[in-house]
Structure formats: structure tokens, C-alpha cells
A and B are shown apart, each in its own frame.
Chain A
């Protein structure tokens, strides 16, 4: 069974430019998460989807970050415009539904210069 797939693996952009990350969760997983991981820190939740509904986006900086999961499967996370402080690893995870084990993708390492 394929795991959580994220792309791209690495992205380098100039500040003020837009960037988008893509995530394909494990087949059949209804819950999808986007986490932010700063260097030397544990992951922190940005947004959680139950199917296509964003049920927890309290930590998402909505002035520049947006996310969507239109058909309840794949998801994209966008930053516009990117700032230097956005340099981090962006992790996607999925679980079968609420209360189940969460599995992570490889992450996208973003560098803003």
C-alpha cells in the first residue's frame, strides 16, 4: 500500500513569491493534516480536514496561507506571498478517520531566500 505522497520534495523561492505544496493521502483515509516543522522542533498543526471540510484551521496564518481539499482526497497548501520565516518543512499526514493512527509523508522542504 502506498504511503502519503507529497511533492515537491524541495522548493527554493524568493521572498514575496507564491508557492504550493501537494499531498496525496493514503487511499481511503478521510482525515488529512498539514503540519509545519521548523528546524529542531516537533511538527505543529496548520490545518486538519475531515473529507473535504476544514475542521481545524485555527493555527493557519490566513493572511498568506490557504489550503484546499476539493474532492476529499488530494490537498494543496499555498503560501502567497512567502516570507523568509516560512522556510521550514511542510508535512502532510493522513488517518483513516478521527482517533486513528496518523501517517506522515516525506515532507516538502521550503527555503525562502
Chain B
């Protein structure tokens, strides 16, 4: 199966600064990489995703980059706000399969 590693496990930034979370995956057959945000007591919420035929995708303050050669992808949040504070999970899905393999999560704290 797929093995997804995520770093860092915790991240604190000042409001307005940028935050970057990185993930690596093991299976070169993986072709879909979503990011989820999970607030306390809630289920994971899909915030952005990228497929392997694209190197970068942006949605307002959030962007994801993918390096297929190195098998890593990153989440970038710019102009962070206190409401961005949550646990963020990356995930990967293999071609032809339908199971998402998740990283262990990054707890982001945005300090006002």
C-alpha cells in the first residue's frame, strides 16, 4: 500500500505570515492528492486537491504544489488568519484504487 509522511507535526505562525506543510508519498502510482482541514470536534473538510497531471493549483490564499519526481507535495497558506488554526491532513490515492492514505496531520496555530 501507500505510505504518506507529513511534516511538521505542529506549526505556529504569526497572523499574516505564510504556512507550509509538506508530505511525501511512496507509491509512484498515486495520482490524486487532497488536503483536508479538521477543526476540533468536526470531520475533515476538503480544502484543495491536485491530480498528478498538474504541478500547482491555487484557490485564493491556499495553494498546493506537486513534485512527481521527488514524490512530494506541499500545502501553502498565505496571509494566515486565526480561523486557519486547525489540523491539516494530506492524503494520496493510487491510480485505479479508491482508498485515500492519510498523513499523520499537522496542527497549525495562527497567533493573533
Interface residue ranges of A1-60 to B (CB < 8 Å): 4, 6, 31, 40-45, 48, 55-56
Given contacts A101-B34, A104-B36, contact A4 B43 (CB under 8 A): yes
Assembled-state Cα–Cα distance A98/B96 (Å): 9
Chain A residues in contact with chain B, CB under 8 A? 4, 6, 31, 40-45, 48, 55-56, 91, 93, 95, 98-99, 101-107
Choose among B32, B46, B91, B98 the residue that contacts A42 (Cβ–Cβ < 8 A). B91
Contact B99 A56 (CB under 8 A): yes
Contact B105 A48 (CB under 8 A): no
Residue in A closest to B95 when the chains form the complex, CB atoms: A99
B61 at the interface (CB under 8 A from A): no
Residue in A closest to B98 when the chains form the complex, CB atoms: A98
Contact A106 B103 (CB under 8 A): no
Total residues of chain B contacting the partner, CB 8 A: 21
Contact A102 B104 (CB under 8 A): no
Contact A42 B102 (CB under 8 A): yes
B73 at the interface (CB under 8 A from A): no
Nearest 3 pairs of A and B residues by beta carbon: A42-B102, A104-B43, A104-B44
Contact B102 A105 (CB under 8 A): no
Choose among B46, B91, B98 the residue that contacts A56 (Cβ–Cβ < 8 A). B98
Assembled-state Cα–Cα distance A31/B93 (Å): 15
Residue with the highest number of chain A CB atoms closer than 10 Å, among B32, B43, B91, B104: B43
Which residues in B have their C-beta under 8 angstroms from that of A48?
Answer: 98-99
Assembled-state Cα–Cα distance A45/B98 (Å): 10
CB distance from A78 to the nearest CB of B (A): 20
Which residues in B have their C-beta under 8 angstroms from that of A106?
Answer: 41-43
Assembled-state Cα–Cα distance A91/B34 (Å): 17
Assembled-state Cα–Cα distance A44/B103 (Å): 10
Assembled-state Cα–Cα distance A23/B10 (Å): 31
Contact B43 A102 (CB under 8 A): no
Question: Could you show 20 A-B contacts with beta carbons less than 8 Å apart?
Answer: A31-B98, A40-B104, A41-B104, A42-B89, A42-B103, A42-B104, A42-B105, A43-B89, A43-B102, A56-B98, A91-B44, A99-B32, A102-B100, A104-B36, A104-B44, A105-B43, A106-B42, A106-B43, A107-B42, A107-B43
